[in-house]
């Protein structure tokens, strides 16, 4: 894009600017953004209509940048709370319950919608009318509320895993998930899948999960003694007797936890924001990192009918849908980081 020497705005240039995420460009290089806008304002033969267009473009960008800065002030640090997750699943018994949870902002991710479907379909078979209403409503919420889209690889692993289920309703659920997989509720580029690369045991019931990750807004980072990234810390705390499973440290597991029965503990996973937590870890944190853009999950492999299958989720749906598989092994822990608002091209 070259404005030098031009007197007017041509259609190609306007099309490019209309389809760029100018708020993101402004955050990355405010000086360059202002230079482009100043050059446009000084075009000698710019029409009144084009001047108004440029004015609306600038004011729109300012509003977006302001809104994004406000969002950063509302940084969240909690990624996972076992008690809250359990309460959400218990409250969702039908498709209408899931859409209600989305409408009330209890659910902000298509990852969570997928996992709730895996729970709901165990005891509930929707009618065709309910199914169509659900798809229409969730698709609308996906556009209006900008839900985090579910990654294609993640959803594909769920669909593939369900193919081995002996439950009658698995075929119906696979059909629904396949429709989501082919829709704009699913993505192959708006989430960066970050694999945990290290684990540090802190105490008997606490550990640090280390992730290296360079956010688009930290491309100018000059720190050379450590890598950009973040640390998630898992812990347990006492609750009542309504929690039936917990995640806990297992010295014999390279992945840092196994699943055990419990009636006393809840598991939480939070983003470490204290600089002291990053000492001697080889990682440093930037303020832009927030758990509101994350979805954490694990992957496991098991053997069924001589075939090795891989499944992914943040709750153990495979125990209900695939009880015939008994050799499950954890193979990795991941965070899907939502970068939809930081892509250069706007989402339509």
Tell me the pLDDT tens digit for each residue of 243-275: 333 333 333 444 444 334 343 456 788 999 999
**What per-residue confidence (pLDDT) applies to 316?**
82
DSSP string, 128-185: HHHHHHHHHHHHHHHHHS-PBPEEHHHHHHHHHHHTT---TTHHHHHHHHHHHHTSTT
**What per-residue confidence (pLDDT) applies to 32?**
62
In angstroms, the CA 76 to CA 86 distance is: 20
Supply the angle between the helices 170-181 and 110-120 in degrees, to the nearest 10: 170
**What per-residue confidence (pLDDT) applies to 4?**
64
Summarize pLDDT for 136-169 with one digit per residue, the tens: 999 999 888 778 999 999 999 999 999 999 999 9
**What per-residue confidence (pLDDT) applies to 180?**
96
3-state SS of 24-45 is HHHHHCHHHHHHHHHHHHCCCC
In the predicted model, residues of the chain with pLDDT beneath 50 are: 73, 237-264, 344-348
Could you tell me if 114 and 150 are in contact, meaning their C-beta atoms sit under 8 angstroms apart? yes
CA-based nearest residue to 296, from 341, 247, 249 = 247
In angstroms, the CA 75 to CA 146 distance is: 17
- Strands (DSSP E) along the chain, which ranges? 78-81, 150-151, 186-187, 191-195, 198-203, 206-212, 227-238, 245-248, 258-261, 265-271, 283-284, 294-304, 307-313, 329-338
* Block residue for tokens 């209900």: 320
**Cα pseudo-dihedral 25, 79, 201, 331, rounded to 10:** -90
**What per-residue confidence (pLDDT) applies to 258?**
38
Question: Kind of pairing, strands 78-81 and 265-271?
Answer: antiparallel
Q: Is 94 exposed, middle or buried (0-12, 13-18, 19+ CB in 10 A)?
A: middle
3-state secondary structure of 291: helix
Supply the angle between the helices 110-120 and 82-91 in degrees, to the nearest 10: 60
**What per-residue confidence (pLDDT) applies to 304?**
93
Is the pTM higher than 0.75? The answer reads no
**What per-residue confidence (pLDDT) applies to 234?**
79
């Amino acid at each position: 894009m070259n404005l030098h020497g031009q007197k007017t705005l041509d259609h190609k240039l306007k099309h490019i600017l209309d389809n760029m995420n100018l708020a993101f460009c402004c955050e990355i290089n405010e000086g360059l953004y202002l230079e482009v806008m100043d050059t446009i304002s000084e075009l000698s033969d710019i029409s009144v209509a084009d001047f108004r267009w440029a004015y609306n473009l600038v004011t729109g960008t300012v509003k977006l940048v302001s809104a994004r800065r406000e969002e950063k002030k509302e940084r969240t640090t909690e990624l996972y709370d076992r008690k809250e997750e359990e309460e959400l699943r218990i409250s969702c018994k039908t498709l209408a319950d899931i859409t209600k949870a989305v409408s009330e902002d209890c659910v902000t991710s298509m990852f969570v919608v997928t996992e709730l479907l895996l729970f709901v379909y165990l005891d509930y078979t929707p009618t065709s009318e309910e199914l169509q209403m659900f798809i229409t409503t969730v698709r609308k919420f996906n556009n209006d509320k900008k839900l985090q889209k579910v990654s294609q690889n993640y959803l594909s692993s769920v669909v593939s895993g369900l193919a081995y289920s002996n439950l009658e309703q698995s075929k119906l659920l696979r059909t629904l998930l396949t429709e989501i997989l082919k829709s704009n509720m699913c993505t192959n580029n708006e989430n960066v899948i970050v694999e945990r690369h290290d684990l540090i045991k802190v105490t008997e019931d606490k550990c640090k999960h280390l992730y290296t990750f360079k956010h688009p807004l930290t491309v100018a980072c000059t720190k050379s003694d450590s890598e950009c990234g973040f640390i998630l810390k898992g812990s347990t705390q006492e609750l009542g007797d309504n929690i039936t499973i917990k995640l806990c440290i297992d010295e014999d597991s390279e992945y840092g936890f196994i699943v055990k029965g419990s009636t006393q503990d809840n598991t939480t996973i939070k983003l470490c924001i204290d600089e002291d937590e990053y000492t001697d870890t080889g990682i440093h944190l930037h303020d832009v990192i927030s758990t509101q853009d994350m979805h954490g999950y694990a992957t496991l492999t098991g053997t069924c009918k001589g075939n090795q299958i891989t499944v992914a989720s943040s709750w153990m749906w495979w125990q209900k849908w695939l009880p015939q598989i008994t050799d499950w092994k954890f193979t990795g822990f991941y965070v899907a980081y939502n970068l939809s608002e930081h892509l250069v091209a706007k989402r339509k």
